Chain A
Amino acid sequence: MTIQQPGGHIAIGKSIARLDSLEKVLGRSIYTTDIVPEGAVIVKPVRSTKAHAVIRGIDTIEALKVPGVLRVLTARDVPGINVSDCFGAARPLFSSGKVRCRGEMVAAVVAEDIHAAEDAVEMIKVDYEPLTPIFSPLDAVKDGTPKIHEAGNVAKHWKVRKGDVEKGFRESDIIVEHEYVTPTQEPAPLEPEASFATVENDGSVTVVGSMQNPFYVQGMIAQILGWSQDKVRVIHAATGGSFGGKSDEAPMDTGALAAIAALKTRRPALVAYNREDSMIMHSKRHKFIMFYKTGAKKDGTLTASECTLYADTGGYASVGPLVVMRATVHATGPYVIPNVKTDGYCVYTNNTVAGSFRGFGEPQTAFAAESQIDDVAEKLGIDPFEMRMKNILRSGSVTATGQTLDNSVGLEDCLRRVAETVGWKKRESGKSGRGMGLAVIYHGNSLGPEGVDRSRARLVLEEDGTVTLRIGLTEYGTGARSGIAQIVAETLGVPIDFVKLSPVDTATCPDGGGTFASRTLILGGRAAQNAAEKLRTKLVEAAAARLHCQPGEVKVQGGAFSEINAPSHTFTMKELASDLAKRDEPLTVDGEYTVEAVDFTEEKGYGTPYLQYTFGAVAAEVEVDNKLGYVNPLRIVAAYDVGKAINPHLLEGQIEGATSQAVGYALMEEIVHNEGEVLNANLADYYIPTSLDMPEITPILVEYPGRVGPFGAKAMGEPPIDGPAAALVNAIFDAVHVRIRELPATAEKVLLGLKPRAS
């Protein structure tokens, strides 16, 4: 760990234990299904059994006869607007008219207990008239293919245009062209989706659930009920992981379904997906089919890049258009390339819906880009490290979209450190089946071209002198809220235990935007810092009044306010809080922060998409069994330019966890769709890494402060998942000269690559 020890910071840069661990190690009842009220009815979704069909009728007669069944809900039970869609208005809560994938909810059973509900689900008969289904995005974009949505099968197209690629290719000494395919990846949070709803005495509805974004859920439920937003209250329960699966429509679906059932029965209603429901119905990572053409001079200088990306978004777009935007912007990898042409297409098929998943398009493109770079390097006889050193972005470089970078670019530092730490120069490629590979990534921070990025925070000074932080950004494992508390403590000049985090409740917290896009610490942190600065000013003024001095003469330390020249004259937060209360001064302070607008647009395909980037480099070492094809990941060394490490321990945790998801992506994870049906919707047939599958991970943090985040911090929730799969695949090539262009790199694929040599 190579971090400069911060001089004088009291909370920034400290690996303070996160604030929510105690209740978790004690096994407290904090998750949704732990706290559901007694007597709640159970609601189970009925999923579509066709990938593309018209619904002629739904027969619920037999289902209603099952003892314990109370209701069967369908589209006609939606009081307001039958839409549950993050991005547009095409995806219904209950299927209506047509189904476009097997993850759709056609109906739902409300029953006294889970057994009655499950029995009744089996008895629902849906009369489908099948339509021709489409399962590949390459088929979906062809002329004459049946339309899944009226407006056509391309939900969105993004582009990057810089320079003249044809000229660039003419000037190349070498051109390398390949197709790359990445699989549908399942987020697999250990806790499946769940929500329960209760109807209050005043007729309003309270929904408690497992989710990332309570305010988005509140808005959608209100719309579905046909109510104003203030009649719906959403409370965030402890959430057992998400990674994007609970960022999109799934919590809206479970919350709205629970609300409708609660209103119909006048009892609390619980919707708890089982693992199968969860894996079929929630958002998964887009499968990408990518065509990359890369040109370079014989000395390794990159001259041109042409990329075409097809993202399989399934029957509905969800946030697919935004995933494709990020992928398109970053498609080339973090390199200086004068001529760039990238086209990204978000395409409908009749597979299950793809949406948010950590990385958001970048694990896909990093795999392709880093494989290309290694391939060009190999053909030119250049070492992969040298190839990258020659072309990577540095301060003042111009990116693929024409943006000139400032001095917050730690990429070279990251690359040098991982190469050194893994022992790159000393590697013996192929010896004992071992090999090493490299990958570099960049990850634009905050929403960028997705839209205005604004966050809000509220600080309440309590009578006992502690401070309660009310912020609408949620905890589902990241620890970012603890990091924000550290920022507040630092800014106020108080010990960390003076800062309390209030639960996230739409009734009491300001809407700070979604807890996604790795924006929590940087945007939420800036908003909280803004509020803390204002509160500190008030407290200093109150202290100055008591001390009969100027505010500039007040010193704040350890939660005590004293006069610089007379340090024995001290007042505590509690005393000052009481002063302010007596004077009827408000003890609540609001803060906010908005990121400056960017100028990269859909039409231009050029400009500045993000104001700062997290940079990273990954080195992987593998051992390949050349008889079985099995790839054993030995080590991953990963360095990230984090801007400023607010809490090094929490950052390591993010790197280690994201790396495990990338190891799975590289070597073993794949949702298998067959005719639109998910064949492996369980954790026995979908493999996520166990403790025995993991390499040794060495995280390295470097700091090149950026201009967006608090104290220069950069986003770190997602970037660590982008690169390791690419590094592993490059390591496989180094070990056994097998080039894997379709993930996951299973033993079967490696063996097939080794086969020709056997004969």
Chain B
Amino acid sequence: MSKHLLKLRVNGKDYAVMVDSYDRLIDVLRDRLGLRGTKEGCGTGDCGTCVVIMNGKLVNSCLVLAMQARNSSVTTVEGIGTTERLHPLQETFIESGASQCGYCIPGMLVTAKHLLDENPHAAESDIKLAISGVLCRCTGYTKIIKAIKDAQLRMKS
């Protein structure tokens, strides 16, 4: 078990931490940096609750080794908005009733933000495809999709 120095940027802030070779990005985010918004639903890349944006792409942070994220720029749910300044997606998720148990919500928000940043004119079929990588057992996805569409309108204006 060797220790390595990991330098990365998370939500715009630079960090340097010592990690073990087998540590995963999700372990660094949650346990080392205290950013526990990113969740672990399965540990095998099947559920999407651990999804974050890394260097502009969506990744399952449970499948990324910590050192694979060296010198990377990562965005988690904590980087999307704050109490003082909610992202439009966070507003619409609240208004639409898109959150039930809440466990998939960070993964959904990160995925939706990534989609709308890349493709502000995303159609409903694009939205459904984009969020198909995050499982939700509570909502049936209906209100999540509505919330994303509402946020899209809000972001355009």
Residues of A within 8 A of B (CB): 15, 17-18, 20-31, 33-34, 115, 187-192, 238-243, 274-275, 476-479, 649-650, 652-653, 656-661, 682-684, 688-692, 694, 697
B129 near A692: Cβ-Cβ < 8 Å: yes
Q: Which residues of A contact B28 (CB under 8 A)?
A: none
B103 near A241: Cβ-Cβ < 8 Å: yes
Interface size, chain B (Cβ < 8 Å): 55
5 A-B pairs closest in CB distance = A27-B37, A240-B103, A24-B102, A477-B101, A27-B77
Docked Cα-Cα span, A190 to B102, in Å, equals 9
The answer to whether A17 and B97 touch (CB under 8 A), given A683-B135, A690-B135, is yes
Q: How distant is A569 from chain B, measured CB to nearest CB, in Å?
A: 38
B47 near A21: Cβ-Cβ < 8 Å: no
Residues 96-115 of B at the A interface (beta carbon under 8 Å): 97, 99-106, 109
A26 near B81: Cβ-Cβ < 8 Å: yes
Docked Cα-Cα span, A190 to B49, in Å, equals 8
B41 near A192: Cβ-Cβ < 8 Å: yes
B90 near A25: Cβ-Cβ < 8 Å: yes
The listed residue (A23, A31, A274, A682) touching B39 by CB distance below 8 A is A31
A191 near B97: Cβ-Cβ < 8 Å: no
Digitize B51-87: 1 where CB-to-A-CB distance is under 8 Å, 0 elsewhere.
0000000000000000000000000111011110010
Docked Cα-Cα span, A24 to B99, in Å, equals 7
Docked Cα-Cα span, A692 to B139, in Å, equals 14
The answer to whether A21 and B94 touch (CB under 8 A), given A27-B76, A656-B142, is yes
Q: Which residues of A contact B82 (CB under 8 A)?
A: 26
A691 near B97: Cβ-Cβ < 8 Å: no
Q: Which residues of A contact B103 (CB under 8 A)?
A: 31, 189-191, 240-241
Q: How distant is B76 from chain A, measured CB to nearest CB, in Å?
A: 7
A684 near B44: Cβ-Cβ < 8 Å: yes
The listed residue (B43, B78, B102) touching A20 by CB distance below 8 A is B102
Residues of B within 8 A of A (CB): 22, 30, 35-44, 46-47, 49, 76-78, 80-83, 86, 89-90, 93-95, 97, 99-106, 109, 127-129, 131-133, 135-145
Q: Which residues of A contact B44 (CB under 8 A)?
A: 275, 682-684
B47 near A190: Cβ-Cβ < 8 Å: yes
In the complex, which of the residues B40, B78, B133 has the most CB atoms of chain A within 10 Å of its own CB atom?
B40
27 A-B pairs within 8 Å (CB atoms) are namely A25-B81, A26-B81, A27-B36, A189-B101, A190-B49, A190-B103, A190-B136, A191-B101, A240-B103, A241-B103, A242-B101, A274-B43, A275-B42, A275-B44, A477-B102, A652-B142, A656-B141, A661-B137, A684-B44, A690-B133, A691-B127, A691-B131, A691-B141, A692-B129, A694-B140, A694-B141, A697-B140
B137 near A188: Cβ-Cβ < 8 Å: yes
Q: Which residues of B contact A477 (CB under 8 A)?
A: 100-102, 138
Q: How distant is B124 from chain A, measured CB to nearest CB, in Å?
A: 10
Whose C-beta in chain A lies nearest to the C-beta of B135? A688
Q: How distant is A688 from chain B, measured CB to nearest CB, in Å?
A: 6
Docked Cα-Cα span, A24 to B109, in Å, equals 10
B138 near A683: Cβ-Cβ < 8 Å: no
Whose C-beta in chain B lies nearest to the C-beta of A698? B142
A191 near B41: Cβ-Cβ < 8 Å: yes
Q: How distant is A349 from chain B, measured CB to nearest CB, in Å?
A: 26
Q: Which residues of B contact A242 (CB under 8 A)?
A: 101
